[in-house]
Every structure is written in structure tokens, then in C-alpha cells.
Amino acid sequence: MKQLVQIRYFAGLRELIGCEAEEIEITGSTKLARIIDEIKDKHPELAEELNSCAVAVNMEIVDPEKTTLMPGDELAFLPPFGGG
């Protein structure tokens, strides 16, 4: 059985890659920082953009260096936004 993590892209990220969500397969628990590196390799056009995004796992902002993903988690990249 595949162990998947759902990835969601918002705003300009979605426009850059032409999709709002995708799944990535992981094996057991996996460091979030490693998954981000894999996403940057898969979507090089996002590499710089992801550096300025907030990262949420299961709707909670997290530190990628200190977070481990588990199968079934939802990962979301939230680009900075301005308002007025």
C-alpha cells in the first residue's frame, strides 16, 4: 500500500506549476526538509519561491527543519501576501 502525503499549492505557486495539489509517496516518517528538496527538484520553477513561503502541515504552521511527515499528512505552501 502506498504511503502518500497530499501537497497543496496556493496563489502564485499554483500558477507557476499549473496545479493546486499533488501527492508524493513517502516511506514511513520523513523529514519535511527532505520533501521540500524533492519538490524543488521536481518543480525547479518553485525553488526560489518556496524559500519565502510559510509551510503548514495539517493546517498548522511548522518549522521544516524540525518537522517529520507521516503518511496521510497534508502539506501546504503559503506564499507571502500583501494587503492594504
Does domain 4-78 fall under CATH 3.40.50.720? My reply is no
Confidence (pLDDT) at 59: 96
- Using DSSP bridges, classify how beta strands 54-57 and 60-61 pair: parallel, antiparallel or unpaired: antiparallel
Give the pLDDT means over successive 10-residue stretches in the chain (84 positions).
Answer: 90 93 92 95 94 96 95 94 62
Confidence (pLDDT) at 28: 84
Question: How far is it, in rounded angstroms, from Cα 5 to Cα 2?
Answer: 10
Asked if residues 74 and 59 have their Cβ atoms less than 8 Å apart, the reply is: yes
State which amino acid sits at residue 6: Q
19: which 3 cell numbers? 496545479
